[in-house]
Chain A
Amino acid sequence: MKTKPIAAKAGVQQKSVASRFVTAIKKYYVLYLLLAPALLLTLYFSYLPMPGIIVAFMDYDVFDGFASPWVGFENFKQIFTLPMFTKSMAHTLLLSALNLLIVQPAPLVFALLLNEIHANKFKRVLQTVSYLPHFLSWIAVIGMANAIFSTYGTINDIRVALFGEGTERIRFLASQGFFVPNVLILTVWKSIGWASIIYLASITGIDPQLYEAAYVDGANRFKQCIHITIPSVLPTAIMIFIIQIGQIFHDNFDLVYGLQNPYIDFETVSTVVYKEGISAGNYSVATALGLFQGLVSFILVRSVNAFSRKVNDVALW
């Protein structure tokens, strides 16, 4: 099917675009029909909201709709001056920086250590239980954390056991200072197993002859790890790093919103967009914030990708 007769192809090229279109439709109409629902859904739910970003340049009013008055960059001025917005951006960047430093390397380390476990049954069981949280909702994970971090939960029980009866029980989920650590702990717990799969897959793909050759040359297990295993998983790690850099201005709404309570004052971009936009009805400012967020992410992912292509020869596209 791939190699059509050359004569027929040349004949098609002579015809006009319109008639080529008609021929294609006639021949492949069933396939186009099969594709139609996917295309229409994408058009409606993904493309149609795009023009809606003009709301960011309006003083949007529900009754006037898209006929609301234009205000230029007024909304953007607000998001860079009002503390509520600037703080939310700072918080998002803080969580992302910690994500890159702590959450992302964790599954790589986990995979490398798991690779040194030779009791296969234990390894399999450990992998199975470590993947499970990936399939639970964030709010269920927070619910479980609620039991463990509560006043009469395990962490406080351990502290009392270690430091004596008089130890004050801390309400970890209701303490401002523990908010960021809680976010990190829960993210690592939920994602470490699942995220390690991709590293384990690339470790399994390494040619065993490499290890044998290194062994003959006198390299011990540590040197084998440093000179063979780590370089082999590095391209994968860099690719994931690129994706994460692109996400630096995004935060995990489910987790941050789920962990918020009356004792916590920690807003991020996504929670402010929800609270200001959908709850309070300040559509224009919230859209401006969302637009800025999308723009930064787009530029970031493009530039990191270009940089990585030049330096490491690893790129997403």
Chain B
Amino acid sequence: MNHKSTSYKIFLFANYLFMAAVFIVCIFPYFHTLAKALNDGNDTMRGGITFYPRVFTMQNFQVLLADTSIYRAFFISVLRVVIGTVLGVAVQFAAGYALSHQNLPGRRKLMLFIIIPSFIAGGTIPTYLLYVHSGLINNFWVYILPQLMSYYNVMVIRSYIESSVPSSLNDAAAIDGAHELTIMCRIIFPLCLPVVATVSLWVAVTHWNNWTTTMYYITKESLFTLQYKLMQVVKESERLQALLQAAQASGEDVNVSVKSTPESLVSAQVIITTIPIIIVYPFLQKYFVKGVTLGAVKS
């Protein structure tokens, strides 16, 4: 094992160099985006921004935050994350707990029932038509209800209870006359905190990051989320940049008319939208990552 041939040493050296490059590629985009968000828009158009702003300014953020609709979008996003996570994890935990009972009659059939839709689904348009008929279009609950159930999360919770919580605990409590709900809330739930934390994080991140729901089913501006607003800015950016460059080329004085360029605004908006996740990630990384191995349990 400890034998190191010359060729292996050369490989190791190259490997460390390569991984150092990978490391830079991994972290650079965050710093670069932050640098551009904090850099003067017209100065950015000279090129050469790397890890830090050259002409520091809060202008880009000021422009974005002057638009009051962004606060509304932030509020909708937070509301969606909080309600969606609390209700979603409640539904999924209850189902996972019930299905962890090996002797529950019909258990296999019920599991099959919730797994089948992951193989055959109605598809985008039938789903859309159902939402139209259910009054979910331009309704806040379209963010919550369709995503409450996740067969994958249910299976992760179920297999965690089966493998980590001794079933004798259940039986002992039942013999002592404890009600099923008391057992679930007082005994099983506290033992499941690791898996609950992981699943909650997944659900919360999914809700925070989703923007297609808004695009498919929402046209009312008061229900737009932060991610959807980011999408609008990003999609417009290429066109606006081209306009700006054309104006520059034709000799117009863009310095007066445009203080923040589309590129700077996109960068600032990316920062506003991702900062919650980047802030919590280092502290909760343990829970974020743990889930992968939890999920590896086959049903």
Q: A144-B32, A171-B241, A254-B212 are in contact. Are A152 and B234 (CB under 8 A)?
A: no
Is the CB of A249 closer than 8 A to any CB of chain B? Answer: no
Task: Assess whether A31 is in contact with B274, with CB atoms less than 8 Å apart.
Answer: no
Q: Which residues of B contact A32 (CB under 8 A)?
A: 98
Is the CB of B92 closer than 8 A to any CB of chain A? Answer: yes
A30, A46, A151, A153: residue with the most chain B Cβ atoms closer than 10 Å: A46
Q: A35-B98, A143-B270 are in contact. Are A262 and B239 (CB under 8 A)?
A: yes
Q: A41-B149, A174-B242 are in contact. Are A146 and B121 (CB under 8 A)?
A: no
Q: Hey, what's the 0/1 contact readout for A216-234 against B, CB within 8 Å counting as 1?
A: 0000111000000000000
Tell me which of A31, A47, A261 contacts B235 (CB under 8 A): A261
Q: What's the tally of chain B residues with a CB closer than 8 Å to chain A?
A: 109
> How far apart sit A202 and B240, CA to CA, in the bound complex (Å)?
48
Q: B residues 1-29 with Cβ under 8 Å of A?
A: 1, 3-5, 7-8, 11-12, 15-16, 18-19, 22-23, 25-29
Task: Assess whether A1 is in contact with B171, with CB atoms less than 8 Å apart.
Answer: yes
Task: Assess whether B242 is in contact with A171, with CB atoms less than 8 Å apart.
Answer: yes
Kindly specify which of B40-48, B78-86, B191-199, B251-259 makes contact with the partner chain. Answer: B40-48
B18, B22, B126: residue with the most chain A Cβ atoms closer than 10 Å: B126
> How far apart sit A173 and B122, CA to CA, in the bound complex (Å)?
34
> How far apart sit A267 and B211, CA to CA, in the bound complex (Å)?
19
Q: Hey, what's the 0/1 contact readout for A240-265 against B, CB within 8 Å counting as 1?
A: 00000000000001100010111100
Tell me which of A41, A50, A122 contacts B145 (CB under 8 A): A41
Minimal beta-carbon separation of B68 from chain A (angstroms): 22
Task: Assess whether A126 is in contact with B122, with CB atoms less than 8 Å apart.
Answer: no
Task: Assess whether B15 is in contact with A113, with CB atoms less than 8 Å apart.
Answer: yes
Is the CB of A198 closer than 8 A to any CB of chain B? Answer: yes
> How far apart sit A46 and B211, CA to CA, in the bound complex (Å)?
20
Q: Which residues of A contact B209 (CB under 8 A)?
A: 135-138, 140
A38, A221, A222: residue with the most chain B Cβ atoms closer than 10 Å: A38
Closest to B24 in A: A129
Task: Assess whether A126 is in contact with B33, with CB atoms less than 8 Å apart.
Answer: no
Q: Which residues of B contact A37 (CB under 8 A)?
A: 91, 94-95, 148-149
Task: Assess whether A143 is in contact with B32, with CB atoms less than 8 Å apart.
Answer: no
Q: Which residues of A contact B45 (CB under 8 A)?
A: 151-152
Q: Binding site of B, secondary structure by majority: helix, strand, loop or mixed?
A: helix
Q: A30-B180, A39-B113, A147-B266 are in contact. Are A278 and B103 (CB under 8 A)?
A: no
A144, A189, A211, A220: residue with the most chain B Cβ atoms closer than 10 Å: A144
Closest to A132 in B: B281
Q: What's the tally of chain A residues with a CB closer than 8 Å to chain B?
A: 98
Q: B residues 254-299 with Cβ under 8 Å of A?
A: 263, 266-267, 269-270, 273-274, 277-278, 281-282, 285, 288-289, 292-293, 296
- Residues of chain B having any CB pair with chain A under 8 Å: 1, 3-5, 7-8, 11-12, 15-16, 18-19, 22-23, 25-30, 32-33, 36, 44-50, 91-92, 94-95, 97-99, 101-106, 110, 113-114, 117, 119-130, 145-146, 148-149, 151, 154, 167, 170-171, 179-181, 184, 205, 208-212, 215-216, 227, 230-231, 233-235, 237-239, 241-242, 245, 263, 266-267, 269-270, 273-274, 277-278, 281-282, 285, 288-289, 292-293, 296
- Residues of chain A having any CB pair with chain B under 8 Å: 1-2, 20, 24, 28, 30-32, 34-35, 37-39, 41-42, 45-53, 55, 110, 113-114, 116-117, 119, 122, 125-126, 128-133, 135-140, 142-148, 150-154, 156-157, 160, 169, 171, 173-174, 189, 193-194, 197-198, 201, 211-212, 215, 220-222, 253-254, 258, 260-263, 270, 273-274, 277-278, 283, 286-287, 290-291, 293-294, 298, 301
